[in-house]
Amino acid sequence: MAPPRSGNQNGRGGNNRSGGGGGYGNSRNRDYDGGRSGPSHSRGRNQIHSGRVERRSNFGGGGGMGRDNRNRVSGKIGSGGSSGGGNSDDFSKLRDVTWSDMRLPPFQKNFYQEHPKTRNRPHHEVERYRAAHQITLKGQAPNPIQYFDEACFPDYCLNEIRRQRYNEPTPIQAQAWPIAMSGSNLVGIAKTGSGKTLAFILPAIVHINHQPPLQRGDGPIALVLAPTRELAQQIQSVANDFGSSAYVRNTCIFGGAPKTRQTQDLERGVELVIATPGRLLDFLSNGITNMQRCTYLVLDEADRMLDMGFEPQIRKILNQIRPDRQILMWSATWPREVRQLAEDFLGNNYIQVNIGSLELSANHNIRQYVDVCQEADKGSKLKDLLSFIYDQSPHPGKIIIFVATKKKVDELSRFINGFGVRVGSIHGDKSQLDRDNVLSDFRNGRANILVATDVAARGLDVDGIKYVINFDFPQSSEDYIHRIGRTGRKHSTGTSYAFFTRKNAKCARALVDILREANQNVNPDLEYIARNAATISSKEKERDRANRDSGLGGSNRRNGGNSNNYSSNNGYSGGNRFGGGGGGGGGGGVGSNSGYGNNAGYSNGSGRSRNYSNSRH
């Protein structure tokens, strides 16, 4: 085969917007795969320990927004970049490949040998299994396997499965493995925390082991693309667990980290690459790697990867890969908007597996509460909520709090820190070293609260997260599903809270549907907003316009929709609001919970005066 050349191979400046990671898309995208350069240390999915809550003092007794510069972020995206990286035009240097002009060597992608037990299982039993696990199919799929030994994985994979103490395949694994190992293109949609990573990693290992060995200069045989560095690293740790004894070499390619080691790995040759798109394009543009051998391609969080932020990069990467490769797309959400585009890449003959509802749906292990409130009240509501959570148990498990902007992440983490609770914070402007350390502290339980932007919304699998708090409601209901999906993983349960304001009206209808589908009670205030969303949204816009015109500021996107309220926020101005409740910060601090049960927002919808105790599992 005539090798497709990867365009310009000249050296390049360090004119880098985001260490090669982001910089290509909108600001949302930058937060996904952006950030500045810095060494990477994190590897550690296995470093997880059960949560330890450090409770130096209590919420009731804390002291406002004390200044704590530890998390201060200096500079902006683009100001770093000591390790070089891609600039926004880089991938345009990468020459498109005209595959139709090429004679491609054949390769094998169907390795599936159906186990006699699977093959001989009566049809009604197969259908019973599918119905019991709500497996819906589009296209002709082989029977699901029901036990690990039916999957015909190599022994080293089965050993690792035993070592991890998994009892049985999750439904997505049971149905997707036979499809993936048969070489079909696949869309796999299953709830958050249901084991999709292993659903694509094990077939990747089998696929790799059936290909001719890599020769000098060959690129990877399998490529996994993911939207964030942390997710890519986490996938790598699964690949390490399951692939290392199979001598499947892998590397993780992501922006924000020095290129040296990644380059060395690629030049030495790795069968499996897990990458965020920006840095990979950078390496492709510079001829450091190529996709000529790539025959197994995964898009994890595929709807995110195909949305407007990433689509041009994905298109560019996919063009470097032979069109007859196997492609597998995975997510917990599959919005209509990306389906057509996905089909461009999948072709006509793909199989889709859905587990659970075919509509947008949340993991049913999560108890969801929505508090309809005013923007200005969020600070005090958060304090009350944390106070309540810590009141239930001094060791309530880990808590992740999502906010809209990087600035708010910093402010809110300082605010919480002021109560003597150790808190980590993560967003796209933090150095990679910071991001790694923060996530590792959170995984290890050194910090039990993490404040984050959507950079932590997708895919992250951290043991022991019991609560997700949407301090700011996300931009879309898909994001909501992924955010709350950081809890309730595997077979565990969790609780999510969301502060919902009239500015979020456009998401109200979908949120009501999500709550109903998951058999959650619906707050009547939310229902009211859903019914009147159009009017409320336009009134909010009008009010914003009026505020802007009168110089009051009002909502603006950059500052998370309510900069004025936030910066001069009464709820946040802090010390006095928090000071009174807790008996001077001693053990009685959580006693500030009085009045809490009257909180309107968290009622189960059936009664406003119910308090959070309904939320306990």
Ligand X SMILES: Nc1ncnc2c1ncn2[C@@H]1O[C@H](COP(=O)(O)OP(=O)(O)OP(=O)(O)O)[C@@H](O)[C@H]1O
Q: Is 192 in the site for ligand X (CB under 6 A)?
A: yes
Using CB under 6 A, which of the segments 109-117, 164-172, 380-388, 529-537 binds ligand X? 164-172
Distance CA 602, CA 615 (A): 9
Burial of 207 per CB tally in 10 Å (0-12, 13-18, 19+) = buried
Q: Is 589 in the site for ligand X (CB under 6 A)?
A: no
Is residue 195 near ligand X by the rule CB under 6 A?
A: yes
Closest distance to ligand X from the beta carbon of 239 (Å)? 12
| Residue 269 interacts with, from ligand X, Mg ion, none (CB under 5-8 Å by kind) | none
Among 429, 461, 479, 540, binds ligand X (CB under 6 A): 461
Count of positions on this chain that bind ligand X (CB under 6 A): 18
Q: Among 348, 350, 298, 288, which residue's Cα sits nearest to residue 321?
A: 298
Give the chain's largest Cα–Cα span: 78
Within residues 194-223, the interface with Mg ion by CB under 5 A covers: 196
Answer for which of 278, 424, 485, 585 binds ligand X (CB under 6 A) is 485
Q: What distances in angstroms separate CA 261 from CA 11, 344, 488, one per listed residue?
A: 17, 34, 36
Looking only at the bridges linking them, the beta strands covering 351-355 and 135-138 are antiparallel
The piece of 97-105, 119-127, 191-199, 557-565 that touches ligand X (CB under 6 A) is 191-199
Site string for Mg ion, 446-475 (x = CB under 5 A): -------------x----------------
Nearest distance from residue 223's CB to Mg ion, in Å?
16
Token duo for residue 281? 């394009």
SS3 of residue 366 by DSSP: strand
Among residues 435, 451, 309, 406, the alpha carbon closest in space to that of 76 is found at 406
Q: Which helix (H) or strand (E) holds 346?
A: helix 336-346
Q: Which does 170 bind (CB under 5 to 8 A by kind): Mg ion, ligand X, none?
A: ligand X
Q: Which residue has the tokens 């959580």?
A: 590
Determine the interface stretch with ligand X among 32-40, 190-198, 204-212, 251-259 (rule: CB under 6 A). Answer: 190-198
Contact residue for ligand X among 170, 286, 432, 448 (CB under 6 A)? 170
Other beta carbons within 10 angstroms of residue 114's beta carbon come to 16
Q: Give bridge partners of residue 494 from the DSSP assignment.
A: 366
Residue 166 near ligand X by CB under 6 A: yes
Sign of CA dihedral 115, 273, 235, 224: negative
169 binds, among Mg ion, ligand X, none (CB under 5 to 8 A by kind): ligand X
490 near ligand X (CB under 6 A):
yes
Measured from the CB of residue 482, what is the shortest distance to Mg ion in angstroms?
Answer: 9
In the complex, the smallest distance separating the C-beta of residue 518 from Mg ion, rounded to whole angstroms, is 19
Quick check: 412 and 402 in contact, CB under 8 A? no
Q: Which is nearer to ligand X, 402 or 419 (CB)?
A: 402
The window from 151-159, 163-171, 586-594, 601-609 that contacts ligand X (CB under 6 A) reads 163-171
Give whichever of 361 and 563 is closer to ligand X, judged by the CB atom: 361
Is there binding between residue 23 and Mg ion (CB under 5 A)? no
194, 437, 504, 593: which one binds ligand X (CB under 6 A): 194
Pick from 331, 338, 381: nearest CA to 356: 331
Residue 285, Cβ density class (10 Å: 0-12 exposed, 13-18 middle, ≥19 buried): buried
Which residues would be at the binding site for ligand X (CB under 6 A)? 166, 169-170, 173, 190, 192-198, 332, 459, 461, 485, 489-490
